[in-house]
Amino acid sequence: MSNRIYLDWNATGPLLPEVRDQMQQALEGVPGNASSIHQDGQRARSEVERARRALAEAVGAPAQAVVLTGGATESNNQVLRSHARRTDEPRILCTAVEHPSVLEVVEQLGEEGIDVDVVPVDGRGQPDLQALEASLREGTTLVSAMWANNETGAVLPVHEIGELADEYGAVFHVDGTQALGRIPVDFQDLGADFMTLSAHKMGGPKGIGAVVCREGRKVGPLMVGGHQERGRRPGTENVPAAIGLRAAAEAVSARLEDWNRSLEKRRSLLWDALRESPVPVELRGDPERRLPNTLNVAFDGVDGEDMLLALDLEGISASSGSACTAGSLEPSHVILAMGYPEDEARESVRFSFGPTTDRDAIEDAAERILSVAERLHGLA
């Protein structure tokens, strides 16, 4: 369909126009390997370092703190596994609503004999800070918490979590993947030891991300076989992706305030329209501390998978949760952790959008969503 509406930015965002243009130029004009000493290689090296500096500026960190990786999933694995490998008697804690690239790593480390803990959340998706502190008292050595949840948009109290981690001497890792490009991100102010990021959630390319390390903190490599990234991430650098990362990071630095305002208006517009539905609809997540671009809703008695399939036929791309669990028949672990029974958890649908989603698209989408919800509710 020529009039499709893309409302799945939390899975991945379309390339921003300037990102696409600069990557195309790189594919045609920057052929070198960034580790080569000839001029083509040094030009490629210069582009990689420009990307590092641009991302560092976008998140308020020094350039030398940024380790470029293949994306947030790799970055999360690197931070957690490096800590488990390098720490005497490690004890790793995360929240129950983390992305699978954190939660499943923690579970796997537990199966391997590492002491792990998972902190519960309330009905808004916010972690139980008393339970978190109790775990810290028991000797937790690393706390991992996402800045913003990819399914509900809930913004977690990462500053408070960081203060608790610091008080008990634990390393603090923040998954900032969904925060960058939606809300202000200041790594220095955050006080975290590590922050992980991905370019494609903010209109950059897929296949590149970063670990940002506090001064004095280091991550070990997941793989061996190369000296790139000062030995922390071997493999030939993806120069076109680095150039795309730079363009996206520069856009974030220049336009975040405008993006934030426009995204909040779009979210309010969509929610105001959806709650006029004759089918009862529930907002899921934190109604106050949340991303400006994300809306997780459930229409009473309407199965989320049925809703998504019908919406797809109507030209709307949306999802029920993390793209990393697509195809799973199980309800969202995030919604279950918030206390919903399985049948209600299956009703959740997530709509997420970005700076290129205009008002007309939101209004058109709302009409199609309401029509589908009413039809499916009648069938149920």
- The residues carrying an active-site annotation are 324
Q: What are the backbone dihedrals phi and psi of residue 125, each rounded to the nearest 5 degrees, phi first?
A: 85, 15
User: Do residues 347 and 302 lie in contact, with contact meaning Cβ atoms separated by under 8 Å?
Assistant: yes
Closest CA to 83 of 173, 191, 201, 210: 173
Tokens of 182: 């939606």
CA 356, distance to chain mean position in Å, is 18
Closest CA to 143 of 124, 164, 123: 164
Report how far apart, in Å, the C-alpha atoms of 11 and of each of 237, 263, 296, 319 are. Answer: 24, 17, 14, 8
Q: State the Cα–Cα distance between residues 97 and 339, nearest whole angstrom.
A: 12
Closest CA to 122 of 356, 286, 305: 286
Report how far apart, in Å, the C-alpha atoms of 63 and of each of 50, 184, 345 are. Answer: 9, 18, 42
